[in-house]
Amino acid sequence: MKKWLFSLVSVLLFAPIAFADNWGFGVKLGLGEDDPKTLNQVLDSVGGKLTEGEGIFGLEVLHEWNLNSDVDKLGLKVGIDIYGENEFKNSSVKVTEDFYSFPITLYYKQDYGVQNWSWFAGAGVTFMRSELDDTDETFSKNIVFPHITVGSEYNFTEVFALGIEAKYNINAEIEKEIYALNYKTDRSGLSASLTARFYF
């Protein structure tokens, strides 16, 4: 899995250099809804400490096509989001859950140029992987779910923009059977991020 992630990150880093003109690269930091349902139940029943990972770090590569005017654009972006880790532990057990997601988004954008705000809205699908580690074994599960997004960015120069973005995950509940227990975590709901984008 680590080699696969390294390969994807490498593509995201170097694709804009290989393909100039209307390409972009973004780095984002954000927070997203996280409901580790089963870990919360375990906490209520046996006690311990639960740390919920609401933070998100992401990389994305995008391409935009001009439509009827210089303002109207159609864009496509692909990224990788690494979510904060959920961790439960007490005197006898430690359980951690990591999340990686790969969102693909088609969006419409109105770009008003340098030293102006632009806005965009779109929708797409997210491929998410959950990896759960306990003291004895590792379990994983992949799911696919739709998302919608809306945001705005300020274009400081032709190359650099700083933006805010809201994304809503739809039906992003992960369920897997572990030792005859249906383990559930829900990543549905709203996330918000601050994104730095570089255009080439």
pLDDT in tens, 106-138: 999 999 999 999 999 999 999 999 988 876 777
In whole angstroms, how large is the CA radius of gyration of the chain?
Answer: 19
Of the candidates 19, 127, 18, 8, the residue with the CA atom closest to the CA atom of residue 63 = 19
Of the candidates 189, 149, 24, 6, the residue with the CA atom closest to the CA atom of residue 82 = 6
Say how far apart CA 192 and CA 56 lie, in whole Å: 9
Q: For the chain, which domains are there?
A: 2-19+30-199 (2.40.160.20)
Which of the residue ranges 11-15, 31-35, 97-101, 113-117 would you say has the lowest mean pLDDT? 11-15
Residue with tokens 């995201």: 12
DSSP class of residue 189 equals E
42, 44, 49, 50 alpha-carbon torsion, rounded to 10°:
70
Among residues of the chain, what percentage have pLDDT more than 90? 65
Of the candidates 93, 98, 151, 81, the residue with the CA atom closest to the CA atom of residue 122 = 151
Instruction: Say which residues have a Cβ less than 8 Å from residue 37's Cβ, sequence separation at least 6.
Output: 184, 185, 186
pLDDT in tens, 127-186: 999 988 876 777 888 999 999 999 999 999 999 999 999 999 999 999 877 666 678 899
